[in-house]
Amino acid sequence: MNWNDNGIIISMRKHGDNSLILNVLTENHGLHSGYIRNKISKKNSFIYQMGNVLSITWTGRLEEHLGYFKCELLYSFSYKFLNNRLALNALNSFCDLHNFLLPEREVYKNLFSKSIKFLEFTDTENTEWVREYIRWEVILLSELGYGLDLSSCAVTGNNNDLHYVSPKTGRAVSTEVAGKWKNKLLNLPSFLVSVDNKTINKKDILDGIKLTSFFLKKYLFTLNLNLPISRDRFINELKKL
């Protein structure tokens, strides 16, 4: 049996001198692994880098088998990240979260689309892309069943003056309602409730990553797991902005 699809390289490991086991997030077949046998050389090794998007043909005798990949490069995004420490740590976190949190072979079409958008958006000549990364983590939470409702106040239903998020419900809370409880709420950065072109604000960025961290950890607590180390490295780099 076989299928054709597009996939983002999430991880790979060498198998012998010129073979790989490749792990990709595909559009129509979810997180999927495959074996590339005796095909890796100095001339084509640039293809098999994390964050690149491939056209993939998978073949296997049975659906549950590892199977074999035949790949062609569609989009090379890895080069954007390699010469920037912050971006490289973001890419490692991005890939590890896919690998760590998603069940194999379950389809996530929306997440695939948003993951491509993040890779396309990233431009290391500025740091605007960091906000897109945090927005991507919000989408990831939604796909995991931990969606945040940041569109209106949980109490009043109004969609203005939203500055906080309830750690219990994941819903936005307005300043008016927060009152004396605001110290127990999570800060809601403005870029998560409105799209703008303002210069990046370090406080907003750190508030955003703290917000997604809280709910990712809450999700993983139920599985008795911790976030991957790569994400801690990314946060440490963010603090240096």
pLDDT in tens, 3-33: 999 999 999 988 877 889 999 999 999 999 9
User: Which of the four pLDDT bands, split at 50, 70 and 90, describes residue 198?
Assistant: low
Which of 158, 190, 174 lies closest to 166, judged by CA? 174
What pLDDT, on a 0 to 100 scale, did the predictor assign at position 194? 80
Residue 58 backbone phi and psi in degrees, to 5: -105, 135
Query: Which pTM does this prediction carry?
Result: 0.94
Give domain limits for the chain: 2-75, 79-150+188-238
Contact 211/189 with Cβ under 8 angstroms? Answer: yes
Tell which residue, 23, 1, 21, 29, has the closest CA to residue 11.
23
Q: Highest-confidence range of 36-50, 54-68, 136-150, by mean pLDDT?
A: 136-150
pLDDT at 197: 55
Q: Phi first, then psi: give them for residue 183, nearest 5 degrees.
A: -70, -15
Mean pLDDT value across residues 156-178: 93
For the chain, the DSSP string reads -EEEEEEEEEEEEE-SSS-EEEEEEETTTEEEEEEE-S---TTTGGGS-TT-EEEEEEE-SSTTS--EEEEEEEE--THHHHT-HHHHHHHHHHHHHHHHHSPBT---HHHHHHHHHHHHH--TTSSTHHHHHHHHHHHHHHHTT---B-SS-TTT---SSEEEE-TTT-BEEEHHHHGGGGGGSEE--GGGTS---PPP-HHHHHHHHHHHHHHHHHHHHTTT----HHHHHHHHHHTT-
Nearest CA among 42, 2, 33, 37 for reference residue 16: 37
Is 60 exceeded by the pLDDT of residue 220?
Answer: yes
Class for domain 2-75, per CATH? mainly beta
Q: Per-residue pLDDT averaged across 197-225, rounded?
A: 90
For residue range 59-68, list pLDDT tens digits in order: 988 877 889 9
- In angstroms, the CA 128 to CA 202 distance is 11
Residue 142 CB-half CA count within 13 A = 15
Determine the average pLDDT of the residues in 163-175.
96
